[in-house]
Structure 1
C-alpha cells in the first residue's frame, strides 16, 4: 500500500472487492494499466473507473463507468483499441451510464430538449419508458443487459401481462433507440442490443388491412351523421382536406379568414405553414358549424375547444374511436383523400401540395406562385365527388338552398345539425 492513499494491485474483480472491504485507501491502480484509476464511493460498495490522460499539458480524469456494473475484464480488453483511437486524434469513448435507469433518464432529457420531434411521439416514448421500461429493466446494469435479459424481463413479461405484440415491439424499439443514440453520441462503449430484433422473441402477426376504401364512404357518412357535432366536424374537415388529426384539432377561427384555411408552421408536422383554398362547400360547412357553436357552446377561439384551449390529442383519438365501423385510424382518412384525388386525375404536384408533403426547396416557390388555382379546382371537384357519394346526408347545409330537396329540414333535424 502506498502512502499516497492509492492501493496497487492486479486489476480484477477479486482484488477490487478486497480493496473496497479494507476501507484503507480511496484509489486503486494496476501498474500494467497506468492510464486507469479507480476511486471508491463513500459507502465503498462501488468504484468509479477513470481514464487519466494528459490534455493540453493538464492531467484530466475521464469517467468511463462504475464497477461492478461495468465488466472490468471486457473494458480492459477494449482499452488498447480506445487508446489507439485517441492517439490518432479520436475522442475517448465514455461509459456514462451504470444502469438502464441512468440511460432512460438521459434519453428523457434528450427528448424534452429536442423540439424537432413531434410532441405526440415524445409523449408516447415517455409513457413507454415510465410504464414498461423503467419498472421492468430499470435496475439492470447496462453491462448485464443482453438479448436474453430483454427477452425474459421485458418481452415475455409483457406477453404474460396481456400486451399486444405490436405494442411490445414499440417498447423494445424505444429502448433500442435510446441505446443507439447514446452510442452515437459516444456515451456508451458499445450497444448491448446491436443486432437484436424483437422477432427473435415473438412472432408478429401481419397487421390487418385497415385501409379505408371509397366503398367505405357510405358507412363512414352514416357514422358521421350520427356523431356529436364537433366529432363529425373534426373528421369531415380531415376527409375534405386530407389534414392530420393534430393540426385539425388545433384549428382556430382566425385561421379561416378570407379564402383560405391557414395552418401555422407550429401546428404542421413538417413545420411548414400551409394554406388550403376554401371551396364553397367548405365555406358553407364552416359557417354552419360556427353558428352551431355560438348557439350551443358559446364563442370560442378554437373550433374544437376543450376546457382550456383546444381538445387534447388523447381526446381527438378517443373521438376517432367513436366513429369507427372497422379498424381504421384517423390517418386513414388522409390517405383516402389522397387516393381519391389521385384517382380523379389531379396533378401529382397539386396532390402533394394539398397534403403539405415536404417539397424540394426549388419547387416551393413554383408551387406557391402557380398552383393555388390548381389546388382550389382539385378540392372543388373532390368535394363535389364526396357529395355525389352521399356526403350531403351528413351535412345538408353544404347543398345550395336552391337545389335542396323538399324535406331537407327534416334531414337536418335528424342529423343533429340544428
Structure 2
C-alpha cells in the first residue's frame, strides 16, 4: 500500500473508462492516465503504451492510498468494475486488495509466455513448444475459466481427463499441467496475482497411489536390431535430404535437434570430423563426431547434389532452396515419422544405435561419449585424454556393420537429374 501525494497529473483524462476510451488515448503520449468518473479508479499507461496498470485510490485519516488491482490488457475494462467492487468490499472489512482476481486462465498463460519471450532466457525451440502446448491444450480447454476457479476438479475435468481420453502420453500431459502450474507460480511471485490457486495441486494427485508416473514415462525402443536392414533398404527410396538426416541419426546416434542444425562449416573434410557447437547440444558442451570413410563419401556426394540443384548455403538441411535456415524441429520430426509410418521416432534411432554398440563390444564410456552424455570427473578426464581414437574405432566398426546389413547404406546420392525436395 503506497501513499499518493498527487492523484491527478496534468495529463489525466476524466472519462467513463472502456476499452474504446483506453485505445483512444493509447497513442497519445500527452495522456499519462485515465480517471474513471464513476469511482476513484485510475488506469495508468506504461512507457511502451501497450500496457497499463489499474490503480484504486482510497482515503483514510486524511491520507490518500493507492492499490494496484490489475494490469491491462490482461484485466479488461469489461471486468474492472467487478474487481473494484470486490476490492472496496474487502478493504471496508479491513482486508487487503487483490490483484487480478478476474484474470482468466488463458490470459494468464498468454502473459506467462510473453514474459518468457521478453526475458530471452529460453531457446526458440522451447518457446515454440510452449506456444504449441498453450494453443492445442490450454486455450481450447480453459476458455473463459478464471484463474481463481482452478481446483483439482476443474483441472481434472478440463485437462487431465480429455488428454488421457485422446491417448496423449503421460509426459505430454505433464508438460501441459506444468505450463499451467509454472504460470501460476511465477505470476504470484512477481505480484501479477495475489494468490496461487495451484500451490497445493500436484500432477501425482490425478493418479492412484499404485500408478507410477516415472515408470509410465519410460518408453522402450520401438525399433529392433533385426529391423535395421529393412530401414536401410527403404532409405534408398527417400529424397536426399530425408535420407541423409535419417542416416546421420542412425550412423552417429546424434539427437535430432543437433542433426537438423548441422552446417557445412561444422563438417571438416580434412580432419574427418563433424563438430556440433555447444549452443546446439542439450548439455551445452561441444560434441565432435569422427567421420568414417563411409560417412565422408555420403556427405561429399550430398554436397554435390545440393550444388547441382543450385543450393550453396551453409545448412545441410535448409528450409528450402531459397530459405537457407535449417528446417524446424517439427519438420525434421515429420520427416522421421513419415518415413517410419509413425512406428518409431528419431530418439528410437539413437536408442537402437546405443544397443548395437553394446552388442558390438563398444566400451561403455566410449558409447556414453558418442551420445554426449555428461559423466563424472573421472570419466571426463578419460574422455579428453583417450576418447578421440576410441570413438573413431567404434564408429568405424559400427558403420561396417551397417554396411553389411545393406550394401547401399552409404551409397552416394548425387544425381544431376534429381530435383531438390
Smaller-chain TM-score bracket: 0.5 to 0.7
- TM-aligned CA distance change 1:187 to 1:380, over 3 Å: same
1:318 to 334, 355, 361: 334
1:127 aligns with 2:132: yes
| Equivalent residue, structure 1, for 2:33 | none
| Equivalent residue, structure 1, for 2:201 | 195
- Give TM-score, length-normalised by structure 1: 0.67
After superposition, give the CA deviation of every residue in 1:29-52 in whole Å (9 maximum; x if it has no partner): xxxxxxxxxx6879xxxx867999
| Residue pairs, 1:10-409, within 5 angstroms | 26=40, 63=68, 95=99, 98-113=103-118, 115=120, 117-137=122-142, 139-155=144-160, 163-166=166-169, 170-183=175-188, 188-193=193-198, 194-197=200-203, 200=206, 211-257=222-268, 258-307=271-320, 308-309=323-324, 310-325=326-341, 327-360=343-376, 364=380, 366-390=382-406, 392-397=407-412
Quote the offset at 1:187 in angstroms: 5.2
- Measure the CA separation in 1 of the matches of 2:409 and 2:261: 23
- TM-aligned CA distance change 1:277 to 1:96, over 3 Å: farther
- Give TM-score, length-normalised by structure 2: 0.67
After superposition, give the CA deviation of every residue in 1:281-322 in whole Å (9 maximum; x if it has no partner): 211221222222222454332221223122222221221122
Quote the offset at 1:274 in angstroms: 1.5
Q: Is the 8 A contact 1:261 1:277 kept in 2?
A: yes
Say which SS state the counterpart of residue 276 (structure 1) adopts. Answer: strand
Q: Is the 8 A contact 2:55 2:66 kept in 1?
A: no
| Structure 1 range deviating more: 244-253 or 323-332 | 323-332
- Measure the CA separation in 1 of the matches of 2:344 and 2:65: 57
- TM-aligned CA distance change 1:113 to 1:349, over 3 Å: farther
Say which SS state the counterpart of residue 285 (structure 2) adopts. Answer: coil
- TM-aligned CA distance change 1:394 to 1:346, over 3 Å: closer
- TM-aligned CA distance change 1:352 to 1:209, over 3 Å: closer
- Measure the CA separation in 2 of the matches of 1:145 and 1:328: 37
Quote the offset at 1:135 in angstroms: 4.4
Say which SS state the counterpart of residue 396 (structure 1) adopts. Answer: coil
After superposition, give the CA deviation of every residue in 1:74-123 in whole Å (9 maximum; x if it has no partner): x89xx99x9xxxxxxxxxx9856733244213311233245554432321
Aligned pair count reads: 345
What is the RMSD of the two structures over their aligned residues, measured on CA atoms?
4.3
Q: Is the 8 A contact 2:160 2:206 kept in 1?
A: no
Quote the offset at 1:149 in angstroms: 2.5
Quote the offset at 1:169 in angstroms: 5.1
Quote the offset at 1:186 in angstroms: 6.3
- Measure the CA separation in 1 of the matches of 2:273 and 2:117: 34
Say which SS state the counterpart of residue 275 (structure 1) adopts. Answer: strand
- TM-aligned CA distance change 1:365 to 1:322, over 3 Å: same
- TM-aligned CA distance change 1:329 to 1:67, over 3 Å: farther
Uncovered stretches (5+) of structure 2, i.e. residues with no partner? 6-36, 45-53, 71-79
- Measure the CA separation in 1 of the matches of 2:367 and 2:118: 34
Uncovered stretches (5+) of structure 1, i.e. residues with no partner? 5-22, 27-38, 53-58, 83-92, 399-411
- TM-aligned CA distance change 1:298 to 1:215, over 3 Å: same
Quote the offset at 1:233 in angstroms: 0.6
- Measure the CA separation in 2 of the matches of 1:356 and 1:300: 28
